[in-house]
C-alpha cells in the first residue's frame, strides 16, 4: 500500500469511529432527561407502523362533552336528547360554579376581549371522537319555520363543521334559554343532537 492509500484508510477508520461515537452519544439520554425517540411527540420514522392520522375520515362519529370549568364563555349548550335529568346551565360569561365547579357541554363559544369597532372575534368548541376542535363562526341566517341557523367550521385538519339551528326561546327568571338542534359533520359522517343553552 502506498502512503496515500494508508492515509485514506486512516481517515475512513477515524470517520467511522467518530460516527459510531456520535450515534451512541445521541442515543444516551442525559441524566434525568429523555432521548428524542422516546418523546411522545416525535413523528414515526418512515416505514414504521403508525396510528391512523386524525385527519382521515373516521369510521364513526362520536360526539363528546366538554368539561368546561369555570371558564368564561359567551354561549354554552347541553345535550337534551339523552333522557334523564336535564343538566343545570351555569350562567355564561361568569365563573359561576355548578356542583364541583364543572359543567359538561356539547358546544361552547368564547369571544375575544374587544375594545375596537366591529364584531369581536368569536370561536366555538366541540369534541368529536375524543378531539376538541376550535371552530370559526360562519354565516348566521334565517332558516325555515322561524329558526336561525349558524354554521361553524374548523380552520385546520381534521375538517369538522357544525350547524347550530336554534328553533325556540324560553324566558326563565332573568335569562333566555335557547333550544334547537346541532349537527356535527366530519367527512361523510354526521351526528345530530337536540340542544338547550344560554348566552351572556
Q: For residues 185 and 139, state if they share a domain.
A: yes
Q: Indicate whether 80 and 138 sit together in one domain.
A: yes
Expressed as residue numbers, the domain containing 159 is: 66-199
In a domain, 143, yes or no: yes
Residue 48 located in a structural domain? no
Clarify whether residues 19 and 79 are in a common domain: no
- Categorize the per-residue pLDDT at 85 as very low, low, confident or very high, splitting at 50, 70 and 90: very low
Report the distance separating Cα 181 and Cα 152, nearest Å.
Answer: 14
- Is residue 46, in this structure, part of any structural domain at all? no
Our count of domains for the chain comes to: 2
Does 59 map to a domain?
no
Assign 26 a pLDDT band (cuts: 50, 70, 90): low
**Least confident residue range of 25-39, 86-100, 131-145:** 86-100
Same domain, 21 and 100: no
Who has greater pLDDT, 103 or 191?
Answer: 191
Let me know: does 180 contact 166? Beta carbons within 8 Å: yes
The answer to pTM > 0.75 is no
CA dihedral sign, ordered 80, 85, 86, 91: negative
Q: Please report whether residue 179 resides in a domain.
A: yes
Domain assignment of residue 75, yes or no: yes
Instruction: Tell me whether residue 182 is in a domain.
Output: yes
pLDDT in tens, 104-118: 788 988 887 766 666
Cell of 65: 362533552
Is residue 94 located within the same domain as residue 173?
yes
Q: Quick one: average pLDDT of 52-72?
A: 67
Look at residue 55 and tell me if it is in a domain: no
Amino acid at each position: 500500500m502506498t502512503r496515500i492509500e494508508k492515509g485514506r484508510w486512516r481517515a475512513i477508520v477515524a470517520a467511522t469511529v467518530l460516527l459510531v461515537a456520535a450515534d451512541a452519544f445521541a442515543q444516551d439520554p442525559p441524566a434525568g432527561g429523555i432521548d428524542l425517540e422516546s418523546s411522545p411527540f416525535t413523528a414515526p420514522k418512515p416505514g414504521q407502523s403508525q396510528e391512523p392520522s386524525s385527519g382521515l375520515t373516521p369510521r364513526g362519529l362520536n360526539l363528546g362533552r366538554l368539561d368546561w370549568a369555570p371558564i368564561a364563555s359567551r354561549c354554552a349548550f347541553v345535550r337534551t336528547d339523552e333522557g334523564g335529568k336535564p343538566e343545570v346551565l351555569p350562567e355564561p360569561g361568569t365563573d359561576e360554579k355548578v356542583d364541583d365547579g364543572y359543567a359538561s357541554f356539547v358546544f361552547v363559544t368564547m369571544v375575544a376581549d374587544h375594545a375596537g369597532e366591529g364584531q369581536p372575534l368569536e370561536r366555538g368548541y366541540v369534541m368529536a371522537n375524543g378531539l376538541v376542535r376550535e371552530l370559526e363562526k360562519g354565516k348566521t341566517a334565517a332558516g325555515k319555520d322561524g329558526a336561525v341557523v349558524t354554521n361553524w367550521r374548523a380552520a385546520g385538519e381534521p375538517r369538522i363543521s357544525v350547524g347550530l339551528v336554534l328553533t325556540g326561546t324560553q324566558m326563565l327568571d332573568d335569562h333566555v334559554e335557547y333550544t334547537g338542534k346541532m349537527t356535527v359533520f366530519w367527512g361523510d359522517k354526521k351526528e345530530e343532537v337536540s340542544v338547550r343553552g344560554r348566552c351572556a
